[in-house]
Amino acid sequence: MRLALTLFFFCSGLFASDIWLKGSGSEFQLSTAGSPTQAVWVYVSESTDTKVGVEMYFSMPSLLGGENVELWLQSHFGRKEPPILEASYLMTSAMNSPEKVDLLAVRRSQGLGMGDFLFLDEKKLASLKVGEETVETPAGKVRATHYRSTSSEQTLDYWISEQAKPIGLVKLESRGTQVFSMSLKRLVRNVASKISPAAAGPASPDTIQLLNLSGGSLPLVP
């Protein structure tokens, strides 16, 4: 779960496109030590004049063993400057319906705010820039801008390209408390979102506990 949250916060933070076509996004190839390569999908779940929704699909090992658990995270942001997180929802293959979750509270409880992850402004990005590079991905060679974010326990290198909108991310490498890499496999269109906010109920005690336990190990992305 903590890796899923890391990826979701990070990818949502790169959502700065002017083009918000519902169903558009990216499929990534995720590699972690000792685990098979997995697919991560991030895509636009809703796009209106007032808000934008982003949903992530991820498969993770079950805490109880056995088959992997499928997980979907969806958040809605107001179309303002800066964008404001309005609501978040979570659903797994073990749930009968989605649950509304307060991801802001998860971050506050750990002393970091959503602003540590979401919507990096141009000035902040410029301070993190390493250079312009051509990177190899499963999708092919992509010309991208290389950035690096560091904290006391984590270093994230990531490459962003205009060619990969609306998400923008083409490659991500993490070193420190969490070691993994993620590369663009392909751009996707017409992806149907899994979560229906209208069907969501309140977060269960088990979900709240899981999110709070996971939140403490997320890396800081300035």
Q: What is the pLDDT of residues 177-207, one digit of tens each?
A: 778 899 999 999 999 999 999 999 998 888 8
What does the alpha-carbon distance between residue 83 and residue 56 come to, in Å, rounded to a whole number? 18
Task: Give the list of residues 6+ apart from residue 143 with CB closer than 8 angstroms, or none.
Answer: 132, 133, 134, 161, 163
Q: What is the pLDDT of residues 101-113, one digit of tens each?
A: 876 665 544 433 3
> CA angle at residue 91 from 161 to 48, to 5 degrees?
55
How does residue 64 score in pLDDT terms, banded at 50, 70 and 90?
A: low
Break the chain into its structural domains and give their ranges: 2-118+178-215
Separation of CA 104 from chain center? 14
What does pTM read for this prediction? 0.82
Average pLDDT, the chain: 78
Q: For residue 47, is pLDDT > 90? A: no
Total Cβ atoms within 10 A of residue 5: 24
